[in-house]
Amino acid sequence: MLNLPRWQVIGIIGVTALAILFALPNVLPQSVLDKLPGWYQQSRVNLGLDLRGGAHFLLEADLRSVLNERLANLSDSVRGELRKQQVGIKDVTVQGGNAVIVVLRDESQRQKAIEGIRNIDPSLQVGGQGDTLQLTFSNVDLVRKKKEVIDQSIEILRRRVDETGTIEPTITRQGDDRILLQVPGIKDTTDLKRKINQTAKLTFHLVNEDVAQTGQNIPTNLPPTTMLVPTREGMQALRQANPKAFDEIMGANPRLTPEQVCRRYQPPCLPVFKRVIVGGEDLDDSKATFDQQQSGRPIISFTFNGAGGRAFCAATRQNIGKRLAIQLDNEIISAPVVQSAICGGSGIITGQFTTQQTQEQALLLRSGALPATLTIIEERTVGADLGADAIRAGTVAALVGTGLVILFMLFVYGPLFGGFASLAMLVNMLLVFAGMSMLGASLTLPGIAGLVLTVGMSVDSNVLIYERVREEREGGRSAFSALATGYDRALTAVIDSNLTALIAGVLLFGMGSGPIKGFATSLTLGLLTHLFTATVFTRMLLAVWVRWRRPTELPV
């Protein structure tokens, strides 16, 4: 057990040296960091929102547009279901932003029409008289939907802002339709606001070729199943030709619908069917890459899940020779002609993208589409709640705790074995800071508490090992045999005790948020590095000492 080959000793020393290298930027002055490579400068532990402040946003969700979209989808479903039931209808329209009005050709079919509507959604409230049906959502359903939209928006924001799970933003619900977002350490909020403002909603629609062939960019009359959507090239041309109009569109509150943009500002638009062939919710993954066939231009590749792949395959097989419009955030970025069935479950999105745009868009698609547009109604920077006082108090607590643990180990196990355990504890803390620096993790006040807890736990395994060595020595074993047997027999208890704590730390990280995740990050890293220092690093120190001194007695 104590006969370590030379390559293991070199590996242990190498890991320790790398830990020093990656933890060093946290203590170097800024004047020195400025002379070092950019990637190395960024290898630092970030202070959390409670320690250094950050960006504060109050966001308002456009729940009205969500209701309008639900009503539009309901009207399409009702139209299709009533035709299926052979119920004659004059018109199906959305009225007042809160109801769908169905006008029947024959009043005698009213009951048959109601039964067909119940097949779509049994919770719908059906009113009206004679040949007119008024369909509305119940209050309970509306409240549930609002809560779902806000909860989903919070989760998507968390994935967009903190994809790695180490920045630890604060994202909470405020009232019925508002979200509070606080991100630590943000000074330039440009990129953050771009991530917030984009809904990243990807849908595939068939182009209505009958309307498109009329040659009119903005047809006066459209079939009820068709809508106008501006093309991305058209919006870019509008931005160059009429910057004021483009700014009006971007700043409109509430947001203008694609058809309103087309009719009011008349950029190049395409008529597409409202029915969604495949939506972004069927995406499994998306990533930024380069087209190897056309001069390496930046593109976005995506992969559908099983249901999305089957739907996309069926749609392309049935519409060969027709154009399939790819709509992203209320703009058609491409409308290629379907040449053959696409059944591989994957595809690419091409366009006039920069490398940064493809990376950002891939992240947004990967994290999911926001169910509602979020408008920033308040933006400011926030100061640290605890700041320098908390850092000073946490540092003092960590130093005092470390000092007391070192004194205890020296007193109980002597200067040699106690010194080895204390040195392993210091290396453990070094490894924790190196790990947090590499991950770009944020250090919050609960994270400092996790570090202080790690200080105490880092010598726990050494205590188990040393006590086992004492028992073996008292049982009559030689010094070398007692050390080797003590390590072997204590290893199971060491792994069991740390594994249970590690499971708790992983669950806290996976299910917690904000301060809880900060505590879990430092605790989990501390446990992982502690296993290395207690069972590997101290064993190396003892192996070197045994080879050097050849002891007959153990000072433990």
Tens of pLDDT, residue by residue over 472-530, are 888 878 777 888 787 778 888 888 888 888 888 888 887 776 667 778 888 888 888 88
pLDDT value of residue 386: 55
Distance CA 327, CA 317 (A): 20
Length of the chain: 556
What are the φ and ψ backbone dihedral angles of 103, each rounded to 5 degrees?
-110, 120
In this structure, the answer to whether residues 210 and 347 fall within a common structural domain is yes
Q: What is the mean pLDDT of residues 326-342?
A: 80
pLDDT value of residue 366: 66
From 380, 406, 436, give the residue that closes a domain: 380
Tens of pLDDT, residues 420-449 = 888 888 888 888 888 888 877 777 778 888
In this structure, the answer to whether residues 401 and 453 fall within a common structural domain is yes
Please indicate, yes or no, whether the overall pTM of this predicted structure exceeds 0.75.
no
Tens of pLDDT, residues 212-258 = 877 777 887 888 888 899 988 888 888 888 888 888 887 776 678 88
Tens of pLDDT, residues 37-79 = 777 777 777 777 667 777 888 888 888 888 887 888 788 788 8
In this structure, the answer to whether residues 320 and 362 fall within a common structural domain is yes
User: Tell me, what DSSP letter sits at residue 58?
Assistant: E
Helix (H) or strand (E) holding 289: strand 283-290
- pLDDT above 60 (res 379): yes
Tell me if 44 is assigned to some domain: yes
Determine which of 3-7, 330-334, 426-430, 450-454 has the lowest per-residue pLDDT on average: 3-7
Distance CA 518, CA 448 (A): 9
Tell me if 182 is assigned to some domain: no
In this structure, the answer to whether residues 257 and 371 fall within a common structural domain is yes
* Tokens describing residue 382: 């926030």
Of the pLDDT bands very low, low, confident and very high (cuts 50, 70, 90), residue 190 is confident
pLDDT value of residue 164: 55
pLDDT value of residue 324: 85
pLDDT value of residue 191: 73
- Closest C-alpha among 364, 325, 349 to residue 230: 325
| CATH number of the domain bearing residue 254 | 3.30.1360.200
From 336, 360, 380, give the residue that closes a domain: 380
In this structure, the answer to whether residues 374 and 392 fall within a common structural domain is no
Tell me if 350 is assigned to some domain: yes
| CATH number of the domain bearing residue 536 | 1.20.1640.10
Tell me if 76 is assigned to some domain: yes
Distance CA 265, CA 252 (A): 13
The amino acid sitting at 13 is: I
Of the pLDDT bands very low, low, confident and very high (cuts 50, 70, 90), residue 8 is confident
pLDDT value of residue 360: 67
Distance CA 157, CA 513 (A): 13
In this structure, the answer to whether residues 374 and 497 fall within a common structural domain is no
Q: Spell out the SS3 assignment of 326-345.
A: EEECCEEEECCECCCCCCCC
Determine the angle formed by the axes of helices 479-511 and 515-532, rounding to 10 degrees.
160
In this structure, the answer to whether residues 126 and 235 fall within a common structural domain is no
| CATH number of the domain bearing residue 80 | 3.30.70.990
Tell me if 394 is assigned to some domain: yes
Tell me if 102 is assigned to some domain: yes
Tell me if 59 is assigned to some domain: no
Tens of pLDDT, residues 343-370 = 877 777 766 667 777 776 676 666 666 7
| Number of domains within the chain | 3
- Give the structural domain span for 30: 6-48+387-549
From 354, 380, 406, give the residue that closes a domain: 380
Tell me if 273 is assigned to some domain: yes
In this structure, the answer to whether residues 332 and 429 fall within a common structural domain is no
Distance CA 350, CA 355 (A): 12
In this structure, the answer to whether residues 362 and 295 fall within a common structural domain is yes
In this structure, the answer to whether residues 270 and 211 fall within a common structural domain is yes
pLDDT value of residue 363: 67
In this structure, the answer to whether residues 249 and 300 fall within a common structural domain is yes
- pLDDT above 80 (res 185): no
A 10 A CB-CB count for 348 gives 12
Determine which of 12-26, 156-170, 191-205, 422-436 has the lowest per-residue pLDDT on average: 156-170
